[in-house]
A and B are shown apart, each in its own frame.
Chain A
Amino acid sequence: MQRGVMTVGGKGISLLLGLILALGGLLSGPAQAAEIVIGGLFSITGPQSYLGEPERNTLEMAVAEINAKGGINGNKVKAVIYDDEGDANKARLNASKLIDKDKVIAIIGPSLTPTSMAIIDITQPAKIPLISCAAGVNITSPVQERPFVFKTAQTGQMAVARIYQYLQKKDIKKIAIITVSSSFGVSGKDQLVAQAAKAGLEIVAQEVFGEKDTDMTPQLTKIRTTPAQAVICWGTGPAPAIVAKNMKQLGLTIPLIQSHGAASKKFIEYAGDAAEGIILPAGKIAVYRDLPDSDPQKSVIKNYVEKYEAKFKTPVSGFGGYAYDAFNLLMHAVGKAGTDGTKIAQELQKIQNFPGVSGVFNLSPEDHNGLGPDAFVMVKIEKGEWKLVE
């Protein structure tokens, strides 16, 4: 018996050694000289793939676009993109792989707040600029401790401010909120609660639902028993559409306000008839055709939407825009600063009046997001189309 264990044990150790050597192979293969390598890290598979997939597509498209124009400063750009599956440990592993193996000069992504938070203490000490595509306010603050971390997505804070402005105008005082149990929904809930008092609103019901839930009638039935004058739903993917359908089924006729997480064509498709009349804050991408030509974002968005839809044959979502803006901001900075991380970060925070898909960016050493509440417009769904609400 003892002998058997020893043989297997000896083999075990040599197998382990072999594995370590095999891993060495993973790290070899240096990048070509005249190539600028950037990293992409998105939740391409897993429950949040609706974010990661358009972000990956967009980044690939944007890289091809810039190379067709001759690259940046005469150098071709290459993007190495990994999938973190929405998992924090995977994100860390891939972030260090991007830095060590692929020698990227900057990273775009991750798609989610938790995965972004998870890799900050890898990218920050390595002095690699990180431009996150996630919504969480905490990603870029405190900004003094994170000079290399930026983000392009609008924060939930701004969306809530926009919604509350609208509700005040409509003289609504009592609201019910129903939020998804994901980082997006929880940060939305926190902001809804935090800003309610200041806006003179009373939250009479607080409900939650799971990302993959398929029936929200119990929560809405409970809301029906409260004096709420409007329902605010904070979610992404098919679930908020089910909330809309369930409200219709229950005959709950008070206004339904969705978050910017529902600002995609898919939402209208999912919700069908129930989408009619829903109000939500959306990035300007949803209604870019209705924007006046004087709007600096209009031409940027038009260019992005037309190229994306032509290339991928699928309706565009605002999520890909986060990666598009991140790439363009990064290329702008690289064009001026070259490939040194510290210089890129310094150049990034100097960017002013930069029209992007998600808004006009005004970055500064104090603000590494650079968007204001005007990045959102309130829209209403009418006959399956977005309409600007004045």
Chain B
Amino acid sequence: MEKLAELLQYIFSGLTNGAIYALIGLGFSIIFNATAIINFAQGEFVMLGALVVIAFSALGLSLPLALVLAVAAVTVMGLAFERLAIRPARDATAISLIIITVGGGVLIKGLAMLLWGKDAYTLPPFSGQEPLTLAGATILPQSLWIMALTLLLVVGLEAFLHFTILGKAMRAASYNPVAARLVGIRVSQMVQFSFGLSAALGAAAGVLIAPITMGVYDMGTMLGLKGFCAAVIGGLGSIFGVVLGGLLLGVAEALASGLVSSGYRDAVAFLILLLVLFFRPQGLIGRRPLRSS
């Protein structure tokens, strides 16, 4: 019984983090599918989401309003990032583009440091501090918020990509840009849109996790890398795969640091990444291998 409660505790912890990794991973996946770029600035949008919502709520806005505005603001930043940094270099090789995102990440992080300073900021949880007890394990209400809203976002994303014209156009542009252009889809617009969408997902992750982790200018880098692992583990091409990858990663980390050694917690994510790359390179759920351009 005691052992069960212990295990359950690890799983709660893992699912909470895993949901966040999944959201970040989806951001990677969307941009990768649209452009074959690994967007190393992705983690910085998470940081921006967290810090902007904290700033809005400090201005006295109600929490729901602050949340929505923060995600919207970061989405605009994502669109601007594409317009200012990616589009002017669209003829560059993918390697150059990846380095541009690295530079962009450094720049965003630096600006956040100038704007917010180096201290962390706190945000009250969405509802209550009192942990709930379930079979001997405890879980914060915020963790439930994270899981529920992640689920909602994933379902929404899936519906958007499959049932709206815009979503269908995005998918078409990513499967076959030339054919998409022939049927009248503006591929460059779809690419910009993919950056906006990823920034929104990243910001949502930041907004959700801020009450637990606090917001600080350098929180994005490691979260971004974990999200990247989640995306590759699950399979960059599949939404369901990325979510599964994220949750799996979160739980594996929690189990490893609880049952094996907490020192190698961060190594777990990358170890799984290597194993997946070596033995199932298309990812656990990936239906098609990564594009080879």
Q: Do chains A and B make direct contact within the complex (CB under 8 angstroms)?
A: yes
Chain A interfacial positions (CB closer than 8 Å to B)? 45, 47, 49-50, 53, 181, 207-210, 212-215, 217-219, 221-222, 224-225, 237-238, 241-242, 248-251, 266, 269-270, 272-273
Give A138 to B8 CA distance when docked, in angstroms.
43
Interface membership of B91, Cβ < 8 A: no
A221 with B6, Cβ < 8 A, contacts A207-B262, A212-B222, A270-B120 known = yes
A212 with B131, Cβ < 8 A, contacts A53-B118, A238-B120, A270-B122 known = no
Q: A222-B259, A241-B214 are in contact. List 16 more A-B contacts (CB 8 A).
A: A208-B262, A208-B263, A212-B218, A214-B17, A214-B209, A214-B212, A217-B12, A218-B253, A218-B255, A218-B262, A221-B13, A225-B2, A225-B6, A250-B138, A270-B120, A273-B129
Q: Is the CB of A210 within 8 A of B214?
A: no
Q: Is the CB of A250 within 8 A of B9?
A: yes
Give A127 to B191 CA distance when docked, in angstroms.
59
Q: Is the CB of B122 within 8 A of A269?
A: yes
Give A49 to B116 CA distance when docked, in angstroms.
13
Chain B interfacial positions (CB closer than 8 Å to A)? 2, 6, 9-10, 12-13, 16-17, 113, 118-120, 122, 129, 131, 133, 138, 140, 209, 212-214, 216, 218-219, 222, 253-255, 257-259, 262-263, 265-266
Contact of A45 among B12, B113, B213, B254 (CB under 8 A): B113
Q: Is the CB of A221 within 8 A of B10?
A: yes
Q: Is the CB of B262 within 8 A of A219?
A: yes
A270 with B262, Cβ < 8 A, contacts A221-B10, A251-B131 known = no
Give A212 to B223 CA distance when docked, in angstroms.
10
Chain B nearest CB from A261 CB (Å) reads: 14
Give A53 to B17 CA distance when docked, in angstroms.
31
Q: Is the CB of A221 within 8 A of B119?
A: no
A249 with B138, Cβ < 8 A, contacts A213-B265, A218-B258, A270-B120 known = yes
Give A209 to B253 CA distance when docked, in angstroms.
12
Give A208 to B9 CA distance when docked, in angstroms.
18
- List the A side residues contacting B140 at CB < 8 Å: 249
Closest chain B residue to A224, Cβ basis? B6
9 closest A-B pairs by beta carbon, nearest first, are A214-B213, A218-B258, A49-B118, A218-B257, A238-B120, A217-B13, A221-B9, A218-B254, A208-B263
- List the A side residues contacting B222 at CB < 8 Å: 212
- List the A side residues contacting B258 at CB < 8 Å: 218-219, 221-222
- List the B side residues contacting A218 at CB < 8 Å: 9-10, 13, 253-255, 257-258, 262, 265
Chain A nearest CB from B230 CB (Å) reads: 16
Give A272 to B2 CA distance when docked, in angstroms.
30
Chain A nearest CB from B17 CB (Å) reads: 6
Q: Is the CB of B6 within 8 A of A50?
A: no
Give A214 to B216 CA distance when docked, in angstroms.
11
- List the B side residues contacting A269 at CB < 8 Å: 122
Closest chain B residue to A273, Cβ basis? B129
- List the A side residues contacting B133 at CB < 8 Å: 251
Closest chain A residue to B215, Cβ basis? A238
Q: Is the CB of B216 within 8 A of A238?
A: yes
- List the B side residues contacting A219 at CB < 8 Å: 257-258, 262
Give A209 to B213 CA distance when docked, in angstroms.
14
Closest chain A residue to B133, Cβ basis? A251
Q: Is the CB of A215 within 8 A of B118?
A: no
Give A273 to B17 CA distance when docked, in angstroms.
23
Give A207 to B257 CA distance when docked, in angstroms.
9
Contact of A251 among B16, B120, B138 (CB under 8 A): B138
